[in-house]
Amino acid sequence: MSAKRVLVIGGAASGKSAFAENIIVQSGLARTYIATARIWDAEMNQKVAEHQKMRGAGWTTVEEPLDPAKPLATLNSEQAVLLDCATMWLTNHLMDDGDLAAAEDRLMDAFRCCRAYCVVVSNEVGGGIVPADALSRRFRQAQGRLNQRLATQADTVVQVVAGLPNVLKGSL
């Protein structure tokens, strides 16, 4: 299978991670999971544990909350990788108040150049109300820009709503 880039996008708890995991499993390739979440509290720890249980065995997990470009660069065409998720990655950068533009450029380069079958999960946040505080508005704007950049580079974009896929670009 030649390298392919897929963006799976949807709202919170829409079923996008399960859908993305299934894409990777169906590829038949060696599976890598790049986890971007930071565990700050018991609730997040429980969410991570549920995701791990849902994925099951057969995955190599790489925890990379800030620079997934590193592991993406190490993969080859005999592998499939799931980056879950771009939203947590963005949150980490906003909370650290680093150079988001440079980090985003590194991520885009890594997504474009990754030799593996690459699936990225991201949240769609544009359907809600205008947030009341500056950080939330900055996040919403940055997430929308990031999603647009990922969608431009992706061969396939799938929106997941209520567990149901809607292919917006390309094909699976």
Question: What strand order describes the sheet that includes 164-169?
Answer: 59-63, 30-35, 79-84, 117-123, 5-10, 156-161, 164-169
What span, in angstroms and rounded, lies between the C-alpha atoms of 4 and 1? 8
Check 38, 51, 115, 145 and give the catalytic one.
Answer: 51
Q: Which residues, at least 6 apart from 94, have a Cβ–Cβ distance to it below 8 Å?
A: 100, 135, 138, 139, 142
Strands 156-161 and 164-169: antiparallel
Check if 51 is active-site: yes
CA-based torsion, 95, 98, 101, 106: positive or negative: negative
User: Is the previous residue joined to 113 through a cis bond, with omega within 30 degrees of 0?
Assistant: no
Query: Active-site residues: which are they?
Result: 51
